Amino acid sequence: MKNRKLSPGTSLSSVSSRTPGEGYKYFWRNRYLYLLLLPAVIYYIVFKYIPMYGVTIAFKDFNFAKGILGSDWIGLENFKYLFGLDNFYKVFFNSIYLSFIRLLWGFPIPIILALMLNEMRSLHYKKILQTVVYLPHFISWVVLGGIIISFLSPSWGVVNYLIKALGGEPVFFMAKADYFRKIIVISDIWKGAGWGTIIYLAAITGISPELYEAAIVDGAGKLQRLWYITLPCIRTTIVLCLILRMGSIMSNGFEQIFILQNTQNLDVSEVFETWTYRLGLLNGRFSFATTVGLFTSLVSLFFLLAADRLAKKLGEEGIF
């Protein structure tokens, strides 16, 4: 037992349960690998876990001069104030609705793109197309937002120029609430869909070629191989990404919304990120801003746990 060698893939729990002394030896033997992990651990401790103490501001009448520890406790008063605001429920609806239509239209697109790229036989054109669909991810929302506003401008925008050339009247797209959500969803898909294909392409490359060869021998066509082999094999990855997406259901992206937002479309564009920025941070109401952040985190946690539970009922592993 003492001379038993541990393979690199041996789990720490099995080591510690059988031979307590070998746990230390296992760590020491792989100390350089753990040393490479150390910067990531320090990053999450410093920037993720330590700042969690700031959540207590939501339960205090925060005074910048007194600090977090010195500020007075007020319990749930900030939450009562939040729920009592007139436009709270409108902002809540806007945030939920915009997130779900993004999920409905945006989530399947990377999967479809990955399946299409996987079917390309020319490696040269496949790399070119991958580069083209990845590039928008690296464009800042500040730049992209300026491009969108310029293209849709009623005065000099290309879209309205074509409308006028066809005999129509120019449309102020950014001032109409009906168009705002469509613009948000389309621009979000265009910017992020290509980057989202990476994880699905990685999952597809892990499928055994023997499955496709056997299907071809049995006479299965491309669509049949896609439906009965590719999609079932990456189903776990799809479900995992969907669960993680549900965990950020209350996050609509501050930069995109803020840049495309104006007073004419405020009724449908005001979400928690921009609302918190205006009412909380600009006015120095840090307790209010923290309260909103804590509330949205709890709502996202609820959707995350619900999605995970549903996935397990459907036979998937989930993430917890």
Q: Set out the domains of the chain in order of their start, with CATH numbers.
A: 80-313 (1.10.3720.10)
Q: What is the per-residue pLDDT across 100-149, written as a single tens digit (0 to 9) for each?
A: 999 999 999 999 999 998 888 888 888 888 889 999 999 999 999 999 99
pLDDT number for residue 219: 86
Low-confidence ranges of the chain (pLDDT < 50): 1-16
Tokens of 59: 């339960």
pLDDT number for residue 17: 53
Rounded to two decimals, the pTM is: 0.80
Query: Which parts of the chain fold into alpha helices (H)?
Result: 12-18, 20-29, 31-44, 67-70, 77-84, 88-106, 108-119, 123-134, 141-151, 158-165, 177-205, 209-217, 222-225, 231-233, 235-246, 254-260, 266-269, 272-276, 286-313
> What average pLDDT does the structure give for the chain?
86
DSSP letter, residue 154: T
pLDDT number for residue 6: 43
pLDDT number for residue 4: 45
How many Å separate Cα 270 from the centre of its chain? 19
pLDDT number for residue 15: 41
The set of residues, in sequence order, having a beta carbon less than 8 Å from that of 277 and lying 6+ positions away, is: 254, 258
